[in-house]
A and B are shown apart, each in its own frame.
Chain A
Amino acid sequence: MGERAGGARGPGRFWQPAAAILWKDLLAEMRSRELISGMLVFALIVVVVLNFAVELRLDLARQASIGFLWVTILFAGMLGLSRSLAREKDRGCLDGLLLCPVDRGMIFLGKMIGNLIFVLAVELVIIPLFVFLFDVAFYRPLLLLAVLLGTIGFAGVGTLLSAMVVHTRSREVMLPILLLPVMVPLVLAAVRAGRAALHGWPLSDYLPWAALMVAFDVVLVTVSYLFFDYVVEE
């Protein structure tokens, strides 16, 4: 299907529609900065509010720091995800995208990678912020890998569900209700793996959770890719 869009053949052409959609999203974001700036400010507010949950005690906040990180990523990320496709629909761009003679899976991949990059951009700011605020070693490579693995599944299933949510009444309420329960196993694994990496525990404490995350990512992204067609067609 992808070949039809570009005309030329070859493996590079296969990805071209997805790359075009991704490039469009990145360009629009660079010019407007509406998604990332909103997510970032919200992430900062979440980090501040989370401190109240531990009565502003640093020792308790440090113990729960990886959980805090994930709550922040989920909440701020959902804000971006719900806008990403709502933006297309409200401006009538979704119909244009669907009229393109490209495989719907390519549209999914383009949107998903865009969402992944936006969430990663937010993480790039809040992870140093956590190091600064809570004095935790969040820069460890294995911990960052666990965050990345969790974010991939989040962006994948989040893109699928946000495409459903734009058609519902009260979409802002709907996305968290649909997405958060699905994310629980992935977040649990990410927190467990992250904690093992943070404290420098042996790899045998880290690998099973990382493997679980990889399995989850594969299943969630594949299912989202396969079923995206059904949630965008009119």
Chain B
Amino acid sequence: MKSETRVLVVLSWLSAVMIGVAAYLVFIVAPMERTMGLTQRIFYFHVGSGWVGAAAFLVALVAGILFLRTGRPMWDRLAVSAVEVGLAFITMIVVTGSIWARSTWNIWWTWSPRLTSAAVMWLIYVAYFVLRSGLEDPGKRARFSAVYAVVGFASVVGTFLSIRLLKDIHPTLFGSGAAEEGGGLAPGMHLPFFFSLATFTVLGVTLAWHRFRLARLAAEVAELRARLTLRS
């Protein structure tokens, strides 16, 4: 208990410092991209958010399956924490992507496969919370949302594969893809890129852990309150 709080304090400070260093690397150290100019720098945050969002949904999938197998409330709390943090980062990806698209493609939004599948993914995990809010019984809430997280994870896989299998206006940086020509990172971009990736990972873990702890404390309070009403 005590040591968990200490770890969380350290992680929170670490995230803050890393965000500062990442911002310095991205805005000062990273070289200027030739055609896109300043707006290319949004990419360092965009990819970081996408990675954390997808990883969080994967955690929710695994936690959901573990809940269905064991029935321990801990796994449900982990799943909901992961989806909440993941949804925040996926919202970030839509916002940063739109800003970048406005300056590069001259439009805020287009229905390319990548953008469509990302929008669907966002909607599915919003629906996840609508489902939870509609169920009062905690056991059912945990079970149903775990099943929905399994079904919904197809959208994460689809979003990852969309630019690799279909022709898309969205750039692909890694692996083979239709839009790969001209991709790849200039040498000076490697450090800012991988550092922001690490920063977002630490930030995501920190946020999810805080949310996880909050869920556990809320459950403890609810239990204490129930015991109190029983006694009186």
Contact = CB atoms under 8 A, between A and B. Distances in A.
Contacts of B150: 223, 227
B9 interface: no
Contacts of A227: 68, 147, 150-151
Contact of B124 (A181, A219, A230, A231): A181
B124 A164 contact: no
A174 B158 contact: no
A181 B147 contact: no
Interface stretch (A62-70, A78-86, A125-133, A165-173): A165-173
B130 A231 contact: no
B134 A160 contact: no
Contacts of A106: none
Contact of A231 (B127, B137, B144): B144
Given A230-B146, A231-B143, A177 B151 contact: no
Nearest to B128: A178
User: For chain B, what secondary structure do more than half of its interface residues adopt (helix, strand, loop), or is it mixed?
Assistant: helix
A119 interface: no
A178 B148 CA distance: 8
A19 B136 CA distance: 34
Interface in A147-176: 157, 160-161, 164, 167-170, 174
Interface string A43-58: 0000000000000000
A60 interface: no
A6 interface: no
Nearest to B65: A227
Interface residues of A, number: 24
By CB atoms of chain A within 10 A, which of B116, B120, B140, B147 has the most? B147
Interface string B140-169: 100110111011101100100000000000
A185 interface: yes
B131 A167 contact: no
B107 interface: no
B127 A185 contact: no
B135 to A, nearest CB: 5
A164 B128 CA distance: 12
A57 to B, nearest CB: 22
Interface of A: 157, 160-161, 164, 167-170, 174, 177-178, 181-182, 184-185, 188, 216, 219-220, 223-224, 227, 230-231
Given A181-B124, A231-B143, 19 more contacts: A160-B151, A161-B148, A168-B134, A169-B135, A174-B131, A177-B127, A177-B130, A178-B130, A178-B148, A181-B152, A181-B155, A182-B154, A184-B120, A185-B117, A185-B154, A220-B151, A227-B150, A230-B144, A231-B144
